[in-house]
Structure 1
Amino acid sequence: MENVVLVIHLILALSLIGTVLLQRSEGGGLGMGGGGGGATGGRPAPTAMSKVTWILAIAFICTSIALTLIAASNSANSSVVDRVDTEAGQETTAPDLGESLLPPSSDDAPLVPAAD
């Protein structure tokens, strides 16, 4: 089930990218320099391409939520540590590193006579 939703999600992502790139550029990025307010308030009428973009975007969001829910249900009541223990067949313990990560103390320094 997860693989099917993931494939649909990838197809939606690619088609959403394609439809956005195929749309006509309105110019004046971020709505700057639009001009011509008129009765429509400066907003063009929705085209078929913009409606397809909205539909693909909504479907993309739905598949994103579905993938999140599937992943959450697959990992419910399980831990990475539990999975490692069952795969290894034995309990894992952290290695005892002792003081090997600490710098040497002054007591560990060799006794060297001072040079004259």
Structure 2
Amino acid sequence: MNFNVTQITRINQQDFVFTDKSNLTFPIPPLASAQFYRNQGVLTLKICATVYINSKDSAAPSVGTLIENDTNIEIYFDYNWDESTPDTYDVWYIEVDYISDTVNNIKTVTSYLRNLDPETSRGTTTGVNG
């Protein structure tokens, strides 16, 4: 199994603010999509995610772990959060290419935004288009 982070980019110019915070859970789970494509003939799963990180301390997140379990991939986007509820966010776009001998078996991707200290996470599951 092999993954390559092809992009981690902050996509907002000004601080992002949610207009209604009443139904938000923290950390905010990633918004993700996944799709198969062929990269130089090799079947590859492209995972794209948008994550929201406190703009007061917005270091780029990293891809910490990617685990293949039967028909599901778990991917963890790691960051350090100060545990206070942010008023404003930076929006980060992350793109990962994944290949393995069994990549064609993948049906879902569960992506997590994981705080490293203390370790907490929130996740979402998305189907694979292909």
TM class by smaller structure: under 0.3
Please identify which structure carries the higher helix content: 1
TM-score, length-scaled by structure 2: 0.19
Q: Normalising by structure 1, what TM-score?
A: 0.21
* Higher-Rg member (1/2): 1
